[in-house]
Amino acid sequence: MPSRYDARPADVAGVLAGEPAYRARQAWDGLHRRGLDPQEMTELPGALRARLAAALPPALAAAAESVADRGETVKWLWRLADGALVETVLMANGSRATVCVSSQAGCAMACGFCATGQAGFERNLSEGEIVEQVVRARRRATPRRLSNVVFMGMGEPLANYDRVVAAVRRLTGDLGLSARGITVSTVGVVPGIRRLAGEGLPVTLAVSLHAANDALRDELVPLNRRYPLDVLMAACDEHRHATGRRLSFEWALMDGVNDRPADATELAERARPLGAHVNLIPLNPTPGWPTPGTPPAGVRAFRDRLRALGVNITVRRTRGTEIDAACGQLRAGHEVAPVAAPARRRWSSSSP
Protein backbone atom coordinates (compact mmCIF):
# COMPACT_ATOMS: atom_id res chain seq x y z
CA MET A 1 0.00 0.00 0.00
CA PRO A 2 1.29 3.49 -0.78
CA SER A 3 1.89 5.92 2.06
CA ARG A 4 -0.98 8.16 3.11
CA TYR A 5 -0.20 10.99 0.72
CA ASP A 6 1.24 8.82 -2.04
CA ALA A 7 -2.19 7.22 -2.31
CA ARG A 8 -4.30 8.27 -5.30
CA PRO A 9 -8.03 9.03 -5.07
CA ALA A 10 -8.58 5.55 -6.55
CA ASP A 11 -6.56 3.99 -3.73
CA VAL A 12 -8.69 5.72 -1.12
CA ALA A 13 -11.83 4.67 -2.99
CA GLY A 14 -10.46 1.12 -3.03
CA VAL A 15 -10.01 1.12 0.74
CA LEU A 16 -13.61 2.28 1.08
CA ALA A 17 -14.95 -0.12 -1.55
CA GLY A 18 -18.57 -0.93 -1.02
CA GLU A 19 -19.27 2.42 0.62
CA PRO A 20 -21.09 5.31 -1.07
CA ALA A 21 -18.77 7.39 -3.30
CA TYR A 22 -19.05 10.48 -1.12
CA ARG A 23 -17.19 8.65 1.66
CA ALA A 24 -14.01 8.58 -0.42
CA ARG A 25 -14.37 12.27 -1.16
CA GLN A 26 -14.88 12.99 2.53
CA ALA A 27 -11.78 11.03 3.39
CA TRP A 28 -9.69 12.72 0.67
CA ASP A 29 -10.81 16.15 1.85
CA GLY A 30 -10.20 15.27 5.45
CA LEU A 31 -6.64 14.19 4.65
CA HIS A 32 -5.80 17.17 2.45
CA ARG A 33 -7.92 20.22 3.24
CA ARG A 34 -8.12 19.55 6.95
CA GLY A 35 -4.93 17.57 7.53
CA LEU A 36 -6.80 15.04 9.65
CA ASP A 37 -5.66 11.66 10.77
CA PRO A 38 -8.28 9.06 9.70
CA GLN A 39 -9.09 8.42 13.35
CA GLU A 40 -10.13 12.07 13.67
CA MET A 41 -12.62 11.96 10.81
CA THR A 42 -15.62 11.86 13.08
CA GLU A 43 -18.02 12.18 10.17
CA LEU A 44 -16.98 8.65 9.14
CA PRO A 45 -18.18 5.53 10.94
CA GLY A 46 -15.56 4.08 13.26
CA ALA A 47 -14.98 0.97 11.16
CA LEU A 48 -14.11 3.08 8.10
CA ARG A 49 -11.75 5.25 10.09
CA ALA A 50 -9.95 2.17 11.29
CA ARG A 51 -9.79 0.76 7.76
CA LEU A 52 -8.28 3.99 6.41
CA ALA A 53 -5.79 4.27 9.22
CA ALA A 54 -4.60 0.71 8.68
CA ALA A 55 -4.42 0.97 4.88
CA LEU A 56 -2.80 4.41 4.63
CA PRO A 57 0.12 4.69 7.02
CA PRO A 58 1.79 8.10 7.31
CA ALA A 59 5.21 8.32 5.64
CA LEU A 60 6.72 10.55 8.30
CA ALA A 61 7.44 9.52 11.87
CA ALA A 62 8.79 12.28 14.10
CA ALA A 63 12.23 11.23 15.31
CA ALA A 64 12.66 14.61 16.98
CA GLU A 65 10.80 17.85 17.23
CA SER A 66 12.34 21.07 18.49
CA VAL A 67 10.71 24.41 19.16
CA ALA A 68 12.38 27.81 19.40
CA ASP A 69 11.58 31.51 19.34
CA ARG A 70 8.73 31.17 21.86
CA GLY A 71 7.00 28.61 19.71
CA GLU A 72 7.39 30.56 16.47
CA THR A 73 9.80 28.06 14.93
CA VAL A 74 9.31 24.33 14.87
CA LYS A 75 11.75 21.88 13.36
CA TRP A 76 11.00 18.25 12.77
CA LEU A 77 13.40 15.47 12.04
CA TRP A 78 11.39 12.79 10.28
CA ARG A 79 12.28 9.16 9.97
CA LEU A 80 10.95 7.73 6.70
CA ALA A 81 9.77 4.15 6.24
CA ASP A 82 13.23 3.00 5.09
CA GLY A 83 15.02 4.80 7.89
CA ALA A 84 16.14 7.85 5.89
CA LEU A 85 16.07 11.11 7.86
CA VAL A 86 14.83 14.46 6.55
CA GLU A 87 13.86 17.75 8.12
CA THR A 88 11.06 20.28 7.85
CA VAL A 89 11.06 23.74 9.41
CA LEU A 90 7.95 25.79 10.17
CA MET A 91 8.42 29.52 10.69
CA ALA A 92 5.72 31.87 11.96
CA ASN A 93 5.43 35.36 10.64
CA GLY A 94 2.65 37.35 12.26
CA SER A 95 -0.64 35.73 11.35
CA ARG A 96 0.99 33.67 8.60
CA ALA A 97 3.51 30.88 8.42
CA THR A 98 6.08 29.50 6.01
CA VAL A 99 7.22 25.93 5.78
CA CYS A 100 10.64 24.94 4.47
CA VAL A 101 10.44 21.43 3.02
CA SER A 102 12.96 18.82 1.95
CA SER A 103 12.82 17.28 -1.52
CA GLN A 104 15.54 14.64 -1.13
CA ALA A 105 17.23 12.72 1.66
CA GLY A 106 20.73 14.11 1.26
CA CYS A 107 21.87 15.90 -1.88
CA ALA A 108 24.21 15.13 -4.75
CA MET A 109 25.08 18.75 -5.60
CA ALA A 110 28.08 18.76 -3.25
CA CYS A 111 28.15 22.47 -2.41
CA GLY A 112 30.98 22.48 0.11
CA PHE A 113 29.44 25.03 2.49
CA CYS A 114 26.13 23.16 2.86
CA ALA A 115 25.76 20.48 5.53
CA THR A 116 23.41 18.44 3.36
CA GLY A 117 25.85 18.64 0.45
CA GLN A 118 28.67 17.51 2.71
CA ALA A 119 26.71 14.39 3.70
CA GLY A 120 26.00 13.24 0.13
CA PHE A 121 22.95 11.83 -1.61
CA GLU A 122 20.66 9.18 -0.21
CA ARG A 123 17.46 9.15 -2.24
CA ASN A 124 14.66 11.19 -3.75
CA LEU A 125 11.59 11.82 -1.65
CA SER A 126 8.29 10.64 -3.06
CA GLU A 127 5.48 13.01 -3.94
CA GLY A 128 3.59 11.94 -0.83
CA GLU A 129 6.60 12.40 1.44
CA ILE A 130 6.84 16.00 0.23
CA VAL A 131 3.10 16.69 0.48
CA GLU A 132 2.92 15.18 3.96
CA GLN A 133 5.55 17.62 5.25
CA VAL A 134 3.29 20.48 4.22
CA VAL A 135 0.15 18.87 5.65
CA ARG A 136 1.83 18.33 9.01
CA ALA A 137 3.24 21.84 9.10
CA ARG A 138 -0.03 23.45 8.08
CA ARG A 139 -1.86 21.70 10.82
CA ARG A 140 0.73 22.67 13.37
CA ALA A 141 0.68 26.30 12.16
CA THR A 142 -3.01 26.74 13.06
CA PRO A 143 -4.42 29.32 13.77
CA ARG A 144 -1.80 30.93 11.59
CA ARG A 145 -2.41 30.52 7.89
CA LEU A 146 0.25 28.56 6.07
CA SER A 147 0.80 30.95 3.16
CA ASN A 148 4.23 29.96 1.88
CA VAL A 149 6.06 26.78 1.02
CA VAL A 150 9.75 27.02 0.18
CA PHE A 151 11.74 24.10 -1.23
CA MET A 152 14.81 25.16 0.73
CA GLY A 153 15.19 22.20 3.03
CA MET A 154 17.37 19.21 2.24
CA GLY A 155 17.99 18.28 -1.37
CA GLU A 156 17.97 19.80 -4.84
CA PRO A 157 14.31 20.04 -5.92
CA LEU A 158 15.06 20.18 -9.65
CA ALA A 159 17.08 16.97 -9.38
CA ASN A 160 13.86 15.30 -8.22
CA TYR A 161 11.86 17.12 -10.84
CA ASP A 162 8.81 14.93 -11.50
CA ARG A 163 7.98 14.35 -7.85
CA VAL A 164 8.53 17.96 -6.87
CA VAL A 165 6.29 19.27 -9.66
CA ALA A 166 3.66 16.64 -8.86
CA ALA A 167 3.81 17.69 -5.20
CA VAL A 168 3.44 21.37 -6.15
CA ARG A 169 0.32 20.50 -8.14
CA ARG A 170 -1.09 18.64 -5.15
CA LEU A 171 -0.36 21.61 -2.89
CA THR A 172 -2.25 23.99 -5.15
CA GLY A 173 -4.98 21.48 -6.05
CA ASP A 174 -5.71 19.24 -3.07
CA LEU A 175 -4.45 21.57 -0.32
CA GLY A 176 -5.68 24.77 -1.94
CA LEU A 177 -2.42 26.71 -1.52
CA SER A 178 -1.53 29.47 -3.96
CA ALA A 179 1.26 28.71 -6.42
CA ARG A 180 2.43 32.26 -5.86
CA GLY A 181 3.26 31.36 -2.30
CA ILE A 182 5.50 28.49 -3.39
CA THR A 183 9.22 28.95 -4.02
CA VAL A 184 11.41 26.36 -5.70
CA SER A 185 15.05 26.96 -4.85
CA THR A 186 17.75 25.53 -7.08
CA VAL A 187 21.48 25.47 -7.28
CA GLY A 188 21.07 26.03 -11.04
CA VAL A 189 19.87 22.85 -12.73
CA VAL A 190 19.36 24.48 -16.11
CA PRO A 191 17.27 21.77 -17.85
CA GLY A 192 14.98 21.73 -14.80
CA ILE A 193 14.57 25.52 -14.85
CA ARG A 194 13.66 25.36 -18.53
CA ARG A 195 11.13 22.60 -17.99
CA LEU A 196 9.64 24.39 -15.02
CA ALA A 197 9.19 27.48 -17.16
CA GLY A 198 6.90 25.45 -19.40
CA GLU A 199 4.69 23.95 -16.67
CA GLY A 200 2.28 26.86 -16.43
CA LEU A 201 2.92 27.04 -12.69
CA PRO A 202 3.42 30.57 -11.36
CA VAL A 203 5.84 29.52 -8.62
CA THR A 204 8.76 31.69 -7.61
CA LEU A 205 12.15 30.50 -8.76
CA ALA A 206 15.02 31.12 -6.36
CA VAL A 207 18.54 30.52 -7.59
CA SER A 208 21.30 29.94 -5.07
CA LEU A 209 23.87 32.11 -6.76
CA HIS A 210 26.49 32.93 -4.08
CA ALA A 211 29.00 34.02 -6.74
CA ALA A 212 28.57 36.05 -9.92
CA ASN A 213 31.74 35.02 -11.74
CA ASP A 214 32.41 31.51 -12.98
CA ALA A 215 35.78 31.05 -11.30
CA LEU A 216 34.39 31.59 -7.81
CA ARG A 217 31.06 29.88 -8.48
CA ASP A 218 32.84 26.80 -9.86
CA GLU A 219 34.43 26.50 -6.44
CA LEU A 220 31.36 27.18 -4.30
CA VAL A 221 28.71 25.44 -6.39
CA PRO A 222 30.26 22.55 -8.37
CA LEU A 223 27.26 22.30 -10.72
CA ASN A 224 28.39 25.63 -12.17
CA ARG A 225 31.06 23.75 -14.12
CA ARG A 226 28.26 22.05 -16.03
CA TYR A 227 25.94 25.04 -16.31
CA PRO A 228 28.00 28.23 -16.15
CA LEU A 229 26.53 31.62 -15.33
CA ASP A 230 25.66 32.81 -18.83
CA VAL A 231 23.70 29.61 -19.50
CA LEU A 232 22.06 29.80 -16.07
CA MET A 233 21.06 33.44 -16.52
CA ALA A 234 19.50 32.65 -19.90
CA ALA A 235 17.39 29.90 -18.31
CA CYS A 236 16.36 32.30 -15.52
CA ASP A 237 15.29 34.83 -18.12
CA GLU A 238 13.22 32.18 -19.86
CA HIS A 239 11.47 31.28 -16.59
CA ARG A 240 10.80 34.91 -15.83
CA HIS A 241 9.23 35.57 -19.21
CA ALA A 242 7.22 32.38 -19.23
CA THR A 243 5.75 32.83 -15.76
CA GLY A 244 5.79 36.58 -15.19
CA ARG A 245 7.20 35.83 -11.74
CA ARG A 246 10.01 37.75 -10.15
CA LEU A 247 13.23 35.83 -9.73
CA SER A 248 15.19 35.60 -6.50
CA PHE A 249 18.90 35.15 -6.09
CA GLU A 250 20.15 33.69 -2.83
CA TRP A 251 23.53 34.89 -1.63
CA ALA A 252 25.12 33.46 1.51
CA LEU A 253 27.72 36.02 2.56
CA MET A 254 31.04 34.42 3.37
CA ASP A 255 33.65 36.52 5.11
CA GLY A 256 36.27 37.65 2.61
CA VAL A 257 35.02 35.22 -0.07
CA ASN A 258 32.00 36.76 -1.79
CA ASP A 259 31.38 39.94 0.22
CA ARG A 260 33.91 42.27 -1.39
CA PRO A 261 32.95 45.43 -3.30
CA ALA A 262 33.80 43.68 -6.60
CA ASP A 263 31.39 40.85 -5.69
CA ALA A 264 28.59 43.37 -5.19
CA THR A 265 29.32 44.95 -8.56
CA GLU A 266 29.33 41.59 -10.35
CA LEU A 267 26.14 40.53 -8.60
CA ALA A 268 24.42 43.79 -9.55
CA GLU A 269 25.41 43.23 -13.17
CA ARG A 270 23.73 39.81 -13.11
CA ALA A 271 20.66 40.80 -11.08
CA ARG A 272 19.70 44.09 -12.72
CA PRO A 273 19.00 42.92 -16.26
CA LEU A 274 16.77 40.15 -14.90
CA GLY A 275 15.03 42.33 -12.31
CA ALA A 276 16.02 39.70 -9.75
CA HIS A 277 15.46 40.23 -6.06
CA VAL A 278 18.49 39.37 -3.95
CA ASN A 279 18.19 37.63 -0.57
CA LEU A 280 21.29 38.06 1.54
CA ILE A 281 22.10 35.87 4.52
CA PRO A 282 25.35 35.55 6.40
CA LEU A 283 26.73 32.04 5.88
CA ASN A 284 26.06 29.61 8.70
CA PRO A 285 29.39 27.91 9.24
CA THR A 286 29.14 24.12 9.07
CA PRO A 287 31.56 21.45 10.32
CA GLY A 288 33.00 20.81 6.86
CA TRP A 289 33.28 24.49 5.90
CA PRO A 290 34.43 26.65 8.79
CA THR A 291 34.55 29.97 6.88
CA PRO A 292 32.62 32.45 9.04
CA GLY A 293 29.63 34.37 7.78
CA THR A 294 30.13 38.05 7.00
CA PRO A 295 29.81 40.09 10.23
CA PRO A 296 26.78 42.44 10.55
CA ALA A 297 28.64 45.61 9.52
CA GLY A 298 29.90 43.87 6.39
CA VAL A 299 26.39 42.63 5.58
CA ARG A 300 25.09 46.20 5.83
CA ALA A 301 27.90 47.54 3.66
CA PHE A 302 27.28 44.88 1.00
CA ARG A 303 23.54 45.60 1.11
CA ASP A 304 24.05 49.35 0.80
CA ARG A 305 26.44 48.90 -2.09
CA LEU A 306 23.93 46.72 -3.94
CA ARG A 307 21.12 49.17 -3.25
CA ALA A 308 23.21 52.00 -4.61
CA LEU A 309 23.68 49.88 -7.73
CA GLY A 310 19.91 49.65 -8.12
CA VAL A 311 19.29 46.11 -6.85
CA ASN A 312 16.31 45.07 -4.67
CA ILE A 313 17.51 43.26 -1.59
CA THR A 314 16.20 41.63 1.54
CA VAL A 315 18.60 40.86 4.35
CA ARG A 316 17.33 37.77 6.04
CA ARG A 317 16.58 38.07 9.67
CA THR A 318 18.79 36.03 11.94
CA ARG A 319 17.09 34.95 15.12
CA GLY A 320 18.80 33.26 18.01
CA THR A 321 17.54 29.78 18.62
CA GLU A 322 18.19 26.60 20.50
CA ILE A 323 17.55 24.39 17.54
CA ASP A 324 19.62 23.42 14.56
CA ALA A 325 17.34 24.82 11.90
CA ALA A 326 19.75 27.02 10.02
CA CYS A 327 19.85 27.24 6.25
CA GLY A 328 22.27 24.64 5.03
CA GLN A 329 22.58 23.09 8.45
CA LEU A 330 19.66 20.72 8.36
CA ARG A 331 20.59 17.29 9.60
CA ALA A 332 24.00 18.41 10.85
CA GLY A 333 24.88 16.27 13.80
CA HIS A 334 22.00 13.83 13.48
CA GLU A 335 24.25 10.91 12.73
CA VAL A 336 25.63 11.45 16.19
CA ALA A 337 22.49 12.31 18.11
CA PRO A 338 19.08 11.94 16.47
CA VAL A 339 17.37 13.95 19.17
CA ALA A 340 16.79 17.64 19.77
CA ALA A 341 20.21 19.28 19.77
CA PRO A 342 21.36 21.49 22.64
CA ALA A 343 21.64 25.26 22.21
CA ARG A 344 24.61 26.19 20.09
CA ARG A 345 23.75 27.60 16.70
CA ARG A 346 21.94 30.46 15.14
CA TRP A 347 19.71 30.22 12.15
CA SER A 348 18.25 32.51 9.57
CA SER A 349 14.94 32.91 7.94
CA SER A 350 13.69 35.32 5.38
CA SER A 351 11.73 38.28 6.63
CA PRO A 352 8.55 39.13 4.74
> Which active-site residues does the annotation give?
87, 327
113 counts as binding ligand SAH under rule CB under 6 A:
yes
* 3-class SS of residue 169: helix
What distance in Å separates the CA atoms of residue 260 and residue 258, rounded to the nearest whole number? 6
Q: How far is the CB of 87 from ligand SAH (least distance, A)?
A: 11
Q: Which residues, including other chains, have CB under 8 Å from residue 348's CB and lie 6 or more apart?
A: 281, 282, 284, 316, 317, 318, 319, 326, 327
Q: Taking each helix axis as running N to C, give the angle between helix 190-197 and helix 161-173, from 0 to 180 degrees, rounded to the nearest 10.
A: 30
Q: What is the dihedral of CA 127, 128, 132, 133, to 10 degrees?
A: -30
Q: How far is the CB of 20 from ligand SAH (least distance, A)?
A: 44
Q: Which residues, including other chains, have CB under 8 Å from residue 172's CB and lie 6 or more apart?
A: 178, 179, 182, 201
Q: How far is the CB of 281 from ligand SAH (least distance, A)?
A: 5
Between 179 and 257, name the residue whose CB sits nearer to ligand SAH: 257
**Footprint on residues 93-112 left by ligand SAH (CB under 6 A):** 109
**Footprint on residues 290-329 left by ligand SAH (CB under 6 A):** 327-328
Between 200 and 290, name the residue whose CB sits nearer to ligand SAH: 290
Between 126 and 208, name the residue whose CB sits nearer to ligand SAH: 208
156 counts as binding ligand SAH under rule CB under 6 A:
yes
Q: Which residues, including other chains, have CB under 8 Å from residue 34's CB and lie 6 or more apart?
A: none
| Selected range binding ligand SAH among 24-32, 138-146, 179-187, 308-316, rule: CB under 6 A | 179-187
> Based on C-alpha coordinates, what's the Rg of the chain?
21
CB of 293 closer than 8 Å to CB of 253: yes
Between 68 and 223, name the residue whose CB sits nearer to ligand SAH: 223
The size of the interface with ligand SAH (CB under 6 A), counted in residues, is: 17
Q: Using CB under 6 A as the criterion, which residues of the chain lie in contact with ligand SAH when the complex forms? A: 109, 113-114, 152, 156, 185-187, 208, 250, 252, 281, 283-284, 286, 327-328
